[in-house]
Amino acid sequence: MNDPVRLAPIGLGRWARVLARGAQRGDVIELASCFSRSEESRAKFQEEFGIARAAASLDELLADPEIEGVLVTTPNDTHKTIILECLDAGKAVYTDKPIAHTMEDAGANARAASAVGLPFAVGHSARRLGGSRTMKSWIDDGRIGKVSLAEANFSNERGLELTPDTWRFFADKSPGGALIQLGVHHADNLQYLLGPVAAVTSHARKLYTDAEVPDAIMSILEFESGPLGYLGSGWASPGVYQIRLQGTEANLFYDLDFNNWDQSHLTDDKSTLVSQAYRETERPRVEIPHTDMFREQLDEFALAIRGEAEIEVGAEEAVRALAVVHAALESSRRNGEAVELAPMVEMSGDLT
């Protein structure tokens, strides 16, 4: 690309590095600046990614006329303040998932993005995985038949590492623990595959972590289209990422090697998707197209700034994913009573 889109990461921790590597695998984006409150972090990030300059304050970054958009990877509870400031300064925003930590903040972000009319993308990138795209195509063209049951799990060991020095330790900053950090991906994936969730029944437990947040959550999702889904998310086991679909014509079983999650250009090569038809003894492998979910989503965001692409996952999709999380937590507080999603979505208010 002769004139790359100039973006700047805000918050320069581990995930900012994952996204920066994704952006630099393509030729659409130039990381033209960056910001962290830590001067040391700024210097290290600049050196690692060859970024010419850094901003000593958020105001300085937002006043930079060359910066067309920002990549927000700060803690969940800071998303609203930063996103609103960036939009008000005329910068397009890509924010890591979730869109916010509360439904009210999610709605505020959505309305601000709608009001200014700038591209606004949320990092629910997992629907772009080759396995997800293939399952969607099997649903759309009828190869799987009608889906009755879906099962999805995203878990890892991070809850065992939490201390009060980390923001994910606290329930008011990361409500739902593993569910808002990991399971929210499947809250988006399953609605991408099967349509909107109508109600959620859930139980959450804090078993093995010292943190305030749960490390084991099991939810049953009722979809408006009829199927039932299981969404599991834990923070006290080796990494698991799976989706299983049961259809009237065939089943699909998707298993991703979590060890390669950060390297999205390798993830599909380390994943398996198999099908199961009636009376089949063997479960044949289904070819998965090669994708690079982080690079593709960032390229889409950057091209949208130039009017050359449409955002696939914006505020509306992100709000519905977050609503599943909060409905699950409310259901668990009610000892497994079903909680409708509509009132949760309504807590975010009018999104336009």
The proportion of the chain whose per-residue pLDDT surpasses 70, expressed as a percent, equals 100
Structure tokens at 269: 């090569």
Per-residue model confidence as pLDDT tens digits over 156-166? 999 999 999 99
Burial string for 276-290 (b: 16+ CB within 10 Å, else e) reads beeeeeeeeebebee
DSSP 147-207: EEEEEEEEE-SGGGG--TTSGGG-TTTSTTTHIIIIIHHHHHHHHHHH--EEEEEEEEE--
Distance, CA of 40 to CA of 189 (rounded, Å): 37
| Confidence check: pLDDT of 1 > 90 | no
pLDDT-based confidence at residue 350 (cuts at 50, 70, 90) = confident
Q: pLDDT tens digit string along 214-257?
A: 999 999 999 999 999 999 999 999 999 999 999 999 999 999 99
CATH class of the domain comprising 5-125+296-312: alpha beta
- 39-45 average pLDDT score: 96
Q: Is residue 190 pLDDT above 90, yes or no?
A: yes
Mean pLDDT to the nearest integer, 131-153: 98
Class of domain 127-290+324-333: alpha beta
3-class secondary structure per residue, 17-50: HHHHHHHHCCCCEEECCCECCCHHHHHHHHHHHC
200, β-bridge pairs: 221, 339
Position 128 pLDDT exceeds 90: yes
Q: What is the mean pLDDT of residues 101-108?
A: 96
Element (H, E) at 8: strand 5-10
- Give the pLDDT confidence of 292-348 residue by residue, as tens digits: 999 999 999 999 999 999 999 999 999 999 999 999 999 999 999 999 999 999 999
Could you state, in order of their start, the residue ranges of all structural domains in the chain? 5-125+296-312, 127-290+324-333
Residue that has been written with the tokens 């080759």 in this structure: 130
Per-residue pLDDT reduced to its tens digit, 256-287 = 999 889 999 999 999 999 999 999 889 999 99
Whether this model's pTM surpasses 0.75: yes
In contact, 22 and 7? CB cutoff 8 Å = no
**Is residue 9 helix, strand or coil?**
strand
Structure confidence at residue 7 (pLDDT): 98
